[in-house]
Chains A and B, each alone.
Chain A
């Protein structure tokens, strides 16, 4: 028994250990570099730009996907005809490759022939075709993040929906007897009970959006304008072949990700207990 158990755990455990220890910035360089890698990273303007961009990516991503996730879950909670089919359609963006989706959205955002330009023009919402990506920094970042939100929101919907369906109906009955309207029942009954699910959804959104890569690779290219930290890690390591700096950068992003998601979990769970 022990033999089989050890055999089956071994790869997992090795991965775990390597995830923690091999990411050391001191490992790959031929000589000890101390904090030199880190110092070089902070002197690189493309990378400092990416830090700020990544914060905006993550903030946009977690807010949009959580709000849309709650709204979508509430809308899909009620039973109706063809609900199964609708759910299957809703999870579709989650199941497809992010790169593929980015290529499709890139074509929809196209400055010359894109459907978004054409539709907005037909509705007289814009006077002339716009260049959506690559001109304005924040517009580029938000539009790229929308593509990621499109992909990750279905998972938030499913997680929150499962929590919604676990709420006993007599709680709403009781709330109605106490004279609560729909909105106050949602705030007083629903929200506190689905808070743990929202926490889980928010944490996965934080982890994914802090590490946004595929969409940025396709829609921003190597330009610093909309660059993300993960793209910079890739460029530093595999295009500039500067493995030491790559390690340092990915170590920092990893620590930031873990701290942020732990903080988000703690915050939401504590509020759930307090209320």
Chain B
């Protein structure tokens, strides 16, 4: 029985290491963002924000002093990111529900070929489509618009969302739908009134993952947008980092705010994410 405490200690230590590895960089950003610049630049570093400084956040929310242009610009980029990833999420889910249901329940010509070719794009690096998509968007004059970004995201996220929903639909027994068909419901009516309510957890998983992917995009919006009328927060944070004018403390506050939206979603809704990303992979 002497081995028990040793084993317990080993397991606890492993967990502590895993949590430190996962969280320390995020804690560090938070710590710096809550410090004064002189404290952030002290040697050795302060592991706790002493003195606690809220000025960076007050500045970003436009509370401290005059509402600076910086706060307005950063707020706009957060809004852009939300509109673009939210728009892509809605469009992706609507199309993916229809497509996945058709793949799961209907028979049509070349179904297998189409399905496999849709899934094959999952293996392709997204960047393979970067230049052609840019050229298509610029030929339609859509560069630097929400529409361009949303359409590009949707085309990129559709295969994964379709795959997640396809697996979910296949796990639902057909008897429910058959009852609806017997009652004379249409194909679309059955999908909306019978299948979608039952499949809500799967749809939520696909929607959350799509939103997170959209929020995290950088290269595509970097190429597709040129100013604050459409630039999402990722592009703006990278630009602030590159200019080296903004103090580190304010930069980290921007970083924390940009991470807060997906961070809260990931922690609160992690069940759906775990279910979504593992549903296809285990097969």
Contacts and interface: CB of A to CB of B under 8 A. Distances in A.
Contacts of B132: 18-19, 22-23
A213 B127 contact: yes
Interface string B95-125: 1001100100010100000100110110111
Contacts of B174: none
Interface stretch (A114-122, A132-140, A169-177, A266-274): A114-122
Interface in A191-246: 197, 200-201, 203, 207, 210-211, 213-214, 217-218, 221, 230, 233-234, 237-238, 243, 246
Given A118-B44, A155-B277, A90 B22 contact: yes
A78 B8 CA distance: 12
Interface string A116-131: 0011011000000000
Contacts of B188: 4
Interface stretch (B67-75, B196-204, B257-265): B257-265
Contacts, number: 254
B19 interface: yes
B106 A89 contact: no
Contacts of B124: 19, 254, 257-258
A75 B14 contact: yes
B45 A118 contact: yes
Contacts of A96: 26, 216, 259, 262-263, 266
B45 A113 contact: yes
A43 interface: no
Interface residues of A, number: 91
Contacts of B235: 99
A80 B136 CA distance: 52
Contacts of B270: 84, 87-88, 91
Interface of B is mostly: helix
Contacts of B265: 95
Contacts of B159: 12
Contact of A98 (B29, B136, B158, B216): B216
A247 interface: yes
A99 B25 contact: no
Interface in B1-56: 11, 14-15, 18-19, 21-23, 25-26, 28-29, 32, 40-45
B57 interface: no
Contacts of B212: 95
22 contacts: A1-B108, A9-B118, A12-B155, A12-B158, A88-B266, A91-B273, A92-B22, A95-B263, A95-B265, A97-B233, A97-B237, A103-B255, A105-B25, A107-B252, A108-B28, A158-B277, A159-B277, A159-B281, A207-B125, A211-B127, A251-B128, A258-B124
A266 B127 CA distance: 24
A201 B18 CA distance: 19
A253 B266 CA distance: 32
